[in-house]
Amino acid sequence: MKKPIIFFILLLSIGLQAQKTYIQCGLLFDAPSGKNLTEQTIIVENNTILDVRSGYEQGKASDVLIDLRDAWVMPGWIDMHVHIEHEGSKDSYLRRFLDNPADLAFNSAVYAKRTLEAGFTTVRDLGGTGVNVSLGKAIRTGKIEGPRIYTARKAIAISGGHADPTNGMRLDLMGRAGPRDGVADGPSECAKAVRWQVKNGADCIKITSTGGVLSVAKDGDGPAFNMEELRAIMETAADRGVHVAAHAHGKEGMKRAIIAGVKTIEHGSYADEEIFDLLKKHNAWLIPTITAGMSVADSAKIKNYFPAVVQPKAERIGPQILEMFKAAYRAKAPIGFGTDAGVFRHGKNAMEFAYMVQGGMPLTEAVRAATIINARILKWDDRIGSIQKGKLADIVAVSKGTLEDPSGMMHPIFVMKDGVRIK
C-alpha cells in the first residue's frame, strides 16, 4: 500500500510545482523602452517571470489567473532613499533618547510592510543604526513582509556634521563619537568608518558631504569632507566593492563628492548647470527627494514642530528642491527616483511621482526612473527593474486613469513581490 501513496504524493508535488500564474495586462509598461504595450500576459512561476506574451492567455485549469485588463501594469518600484527605522514626528528628537533598538525593530517592521503595500518592492536604506541590516535579513528569510533592502547601515559624517549622532547633546552625554558611530575626521578614520559599515552588513556607503536640514546644527549646506578624506572613502569603498551615495545640499560639497567618485547625489538642493554637467561627465546620478523637501517645509509651518535651529532650514528647502528639479530635468541631468521616506510617513513614497510630474517630467519617465534606471544604478538590472523573462516577479498595477492623473500612483490595486501577491 505504501508505493501508491508515495506515487500519489509525488504526482501532487509535481502538480503544485508546475502551477503558474497568468497575469492579463490591459497596459504593460516596458521600462527599457518607456513604452506601453497593450493586451499582454505575464506568466509567473515561483518567484520568476517565465515569459511575457502578446494577447490574453489563461493557462490550464490548475493555473492561477489574475485579470488586470483594466489596469496599467509595471515593474515593482524602487525607492533609492529611505530611512526604514524611523518616521518623522513632533517628538522625533526626543525619541532618540527614549527608543531602544528593539523599539526601532518593531517600528521598522510596520514601516516595511506599509512600504511594500504601497508598491515599492525594493528600497535603498540610506542610514539608520544597524537595525536596517537585521530587518533586511528578516525580510529575505520570510519572517516578515517588506521590500528588498539594499542598505548603507549608518551614514558617515564629520564631527558636528549632518548625521553626527551627538549633535545637540549636552557635553557630558556627547562623548567622542568615532568611526564605529559613523563619525570620521581625516583619511584614516574615513577609511576605517567605511570598513566598519561594510563589515557589519552595509551594501553601500552613505556620506553626508554637506550640512543637513534636520540635524541640530546651524549649517544646512556648507561642505563637509575635504578631498583627501573623500578620496580615502572612495578608494576604500571601491576596494570593498560598494558604491557611495552622498547627501548634499550645497554646491561645493556636491562638486567635491562628484569629482571624488560618488554614484549618487541625494537631494541636490542648490545644484545648478555646473553640477548637472559634472553628473553627466562622471556618470553619477541625482536622487532629488522632492517629497521630503516639501514635507519638511510644511512641517516647519507648525509651531514648535522642529527645534529652533532646524525650523528656518526646513522652511526654505522644499520649494528650493522643486525648483532645482525643474532645472535638472530641463538640463537633461541623469535623474533617479528617491523620496527620503522616514522624513515623512512611510507608505506615502509614491507622492514623489506627482512632484516629478509637477517639475516637468512625464509620468512614464518618472516610472522609468523608479524601475529600470534605479535597478541599473544598483547593478541589479539583471533581476529587477523591468518585466522580462527570467527576472524576479516584482509587479505593480494602478488604474489606467493614472496616466492622466499621477495621484493614482498612491493607490496601487495590485502588488506582487518575488511572485507572491501582497495586495
Sheet of 48-54, strands arranged across: 48-54, 35-45, 21-30, 64-75, 395-399, 414-417, 420-421
Residues 356 and 267 in one domain: yes
Instruction: Name the one residue in this structure whose C-alpha cell is 578620496.
Output: 231
Q: What percent of the chain has pLDDT over 70?
A: 94
| Mean pLDDT of the residues in the chain | 93
Residues 16 and 49 in one domain: yes
More confident: 94 or 131 = 131
pLDDT band at 168 (very low <50, low <70, confident <90, very high): confident
Residue-level pLDDT at 191: 98
Whether the predicted pLDDT of 14 surpasses 70: no
Residue-level pLDDT at 90: 83
Number of domains in the chain: 2
In whole angstroms, give the CA distance from residue 183 to residue 200.
16
Question: HSE of 189 in the Cβ direction (CA atoms, 13 Å)?
Answer: 16
- Torsion from C-alpha of 87, 90, 95, 99, nearest 10 degrees: -50
More confident: 8 or 352 = 352
Residues 138 and 199 in one domain: yes
Specify the CATH number for the domain of residue 34: 2.30.40.10
Contact assessment for residue 94 and residue 50, using Cβ atoms and an 8 Å cutoff: no
Residue-level pLDDT at 3: 53
Residues 69 and 180 in one domain: no
Residue-level pLDDT at 1: 45
Distances (CA, A) of 410 to 33, 118, 260: 24, 7, 37
Whether the predicted pLDDT of 28 surpasses 80: yes
Residues 216 and 365 in one domain: yes
Residues 194 and 302 in one domain: yes
Specify the CATH number for the domain of residue 365: 3.20.20.140
Residues 413 and 371 in one domain: no
Q: Which domain does 6 fall in, by range? A: 2-76+385-421
Residues 241 and 214 in one domain: yes
Contact assessment for residue 224 and residue 196, using Cβ atoms and an 8 Å cutoff: no
Residues 199 and 337 in one domain: yes
Which range is least confidently modeled, 11-20, 230-239, 341-350, 377-386? 11-20
Distances (CA, A) of 399 to 157, 345, 356, 419: 43, 23, 19, 21
Q: Which of 363, 378, 393 is the last residue of a domain?
A: 378
Instruction: Name the one residue in this structure whose C-alpha cell is 521590500.
Output: 147
Residues 34 and 161 in one domain: no
More confident: 5 or 281 = 281
Residue-level pLDDT at 51: 98
- Tens-digit pLDDT profile for residues 362-388: 999 999 999 999 999 999 999 999 999
Residue-level pLDDT at 374: 98
Residues 248 and 198 in one domain: yes
Residues 136 and 203 in one domain: yes
Residue-level pLDDT at 5: 55
Q: What percent of the chain has pLDDT over 90?
A: 80
